[in-house]
Amino acid sequence: MGELPRPARRLRRLRRTAALRDIFRETRWDVAQLVQPLFVREDDRIEAEIASMPGMRRLTVDEAAAEARVLRELNLRAVILFGLPSRKDEEATGAYEERGVVQEALRAIKADVPELVTMTDVCLCEYTDHGHCGVVVDGDVDNDATVDLLARTAVSQARAGADVVAPSAMMDGQVAAIRTALDRAGFQDTIVMGYAAKHASAFYGPFRDAADSAPRFGNRRGYQMDPANAREALREIALDLEEGADIVMVKPALAYLDVIRAARERFDAPLAAYAVSGEYALIKAAAERGWIDERAVVEETLTAIRRAGADLVLTYHAKDVATWQRKDHA
Ligand code: PBG
């Protein structure tokens, strides 16, 4: 055979030991960058168990405050709240009433764990009887009427203690309207995180079970983005930033890493990624069957989302990740 060529460059040198790998790791993440979503129910006739999201439960207001304390003790810094009202109607009253379930949860959490950053989803789908994200007029979601109610919702959440309001209805002009309404009500310091590039994704399925928010007719493709569009995602993000968003988001995460990367390259604003309910359910289901190593897969996905360019990650795994890290350092 003769002498075979030997490599002049040996990339394996830097991978030889764990210490070397630690030094040359390009992407890191910290539990401080994770946001834990919580579902809060207005009364205990609403079932706690969520079949399609093992490990997640619908919490009462008191349970949410207790959970917030546990999360803070695990070193997490932020939660995002989703509400399950006891009544739904055409105008989504539960979204913006003074004693709404998210408003009550905000007050309870802020009373107990004031340093925890409270984020809220600003949308109407959990509160409308038809399950659409806005006001339906002649069979379609009316943009501008919806924006008025979203602004009202954001102000009521800020008043109840939200540090960050996150409009997710994908209505045009929602960020500008919310920013103006917050400023007029004296909430100049309330942060707006735009769900700027939110795609019409089948990965939201388990969430719609959890929040009982599936549309009763039609679908959300008339307002959420086509999963095929990445350039349009950048236009959505640019608009949210022009309208005053402090943070912008790409959603879902894993199937949209290219969009996260493109957004990171184009914009300097803080970028969030939402690892959604379907992403969580896939991992949980395979892990329950023993087909994958849950912790390794979760950490690898978080690394991938960070590597693509996200600064913070909204993920249902946040508490598990924080718990694993706590045990490592115990
Ligand atoms: C509200 C909202 C949804 C999600 C976040 N905010 C559902 C939807 O748009 O249908 C999905 C989150 C997830 O799947 O984890 N509109």
Please indicate whether residue 284 is annotated as part of the active site: no
DSSP symbols for 116-177: SEEEEEE-STTTBTT--SS-EETTEE-HHHHHHHHHHHHHHHHHHT-SEEEE-S--TTHHHH
Average pLDDT, the chain: 97
Q: Locate the domains of the chain by residue range.
A: 30-328
Residue nearest to atom 5 of ligand 1 (CA): 168
| Ligand 1: centre distance to CA 201 (Å) | 9
Class for the domain spanning 30-328: alpha beta
- Return d(Cα 303, Cα 203) in angstroms, integer: 20
Residue 206 CB neighbour total at 10 angstroms: 23
Which residue out of 110, 198, 284, 319 is catalytically annotated? 198
14-45, pLDDT tens digit by residue? 999 999 999 999 999 999 999 999 999 999 89
| Ligand 1: centre distance to CA 209 (Å) | 11
pTM above 0.95?
yes
Please indicate whether residue 251 is annotated as part of the active site: yes
Which residue out of 88, 110, 251, 284 is catalytically annotated? 251
Which structure tokens are listed for 130?
């038809």
247-265, pLDDT tens digit by residue? 999 999 999 999 999 999 9
* pLDDT reported for residue 199: 98
- Return d(Cα 330, Cα 328) in angstroms, integer: 6
The reply to whether ligand 1 has any atom less than 6 angstroms from the CB of 204 is: yes
315 within 8 A of 275, measured Cβ to Cβ: yes
Residues of the chain with pLDDT > 90, as a percent, come to 98
- Return d(Cα 265, Cα 249) in angstroms, integer: 14
The reply to whether ligand 1 has any atom less than 6 angstroms from the CB of 71 is: no
98-108, pLDDT tens digit by residue? 999 999 999 99
326: closest CA among 72, 57, 20? 72
* pLDDT reported for residue 279: 98
Ligand 1 closest atom vs CA 277: 15
- Return d(Cα 299, Cα 229) in angstroms, integer: 28
Mean pLDDT of 46-63: 96
The reply to whether ligand 1 has any atom less than 6 angstroms from the CB of 125 is: yes
Which structure tokens are listed for 257?
């890493």
